[in-house]
Amino acid sequence: MAQRHIVAMGGGGFTTDGDNRLLDDFVLSLARNKRRPKICFLATASGDSDPYISLFHDSFPPSRAHAVHLKLFDRKVPDLRSFIGEQDVIYVGGGNTANLLAVWRLHGLDRILRAAWNAGTVLAGLSAGAICWFECGITDSFGPPPRGLEGGLGFLKGGFCPHYDGEADRRPVLHRLIRRGFPATLAVDDGAAAHFVGGRVKEFVSSRPSVRAFRVSLEGKSVVEEPLSVRYLGSRRGS
């Protein structure tokens, strides 16, 4: 079996980091084709937003990668399995996680993505595009405040909470859910990402200094935030 990579970002990348390419370059570095990776953007969670797709293509010009996108709301690709199988990287944008999962399953993309991952295609994304790979997560798919969402793809065990430093409601909601039996969850700041190889986290990386990641779980009757080491990609030393 090929080496399987997933990069789950709390936020950042081309969506919000502007000219800071550290996280996106890290994703590209994992691709099988190092010279000019084939990268496909899935903007399903934003309803296939045209401005979002345009921003993706502006951020991944031909000199950097061979970039394509896949729309499902106005689908033009008849053979999804072949199309996805040709890609080195699948990059999933943010938006509504619940809608993303429903649409993917309707088109059979959930099974196709698992097969691509097993074959060595890198899976990456931020916010909704990170939560989706886990069993569950903290989402605002149903409007504020955030709430727990189960029924993720389950490629990775446990839960994921993005925007841990960027949205004030995320932390108290996660703590309340953990007390009620929600699974142990990775909580990641904007600008940080969890890099998984197979089903195990290898490391946490970041495009910004001093951002954080935690494993949040219940010990006895107390919610515990275990700080996790994060390697800042802008320097040679971890932070």
Please say if 46 is a catalytic residue. Answer: no
- Catalytically annotated residue among 46, 127, 141, 207: 127
Contact 99, 141 (CB under 8 A): yes
Our answer to whether residue 5 is catalytic in this structure is: no
Structural tokens at position 172: 């108290």
Place of tokens 């970041």: 206
Among the listed residues 5, 69, 163, 195, the single catalytic one is 163
Active site residues per annotation: 127, 163
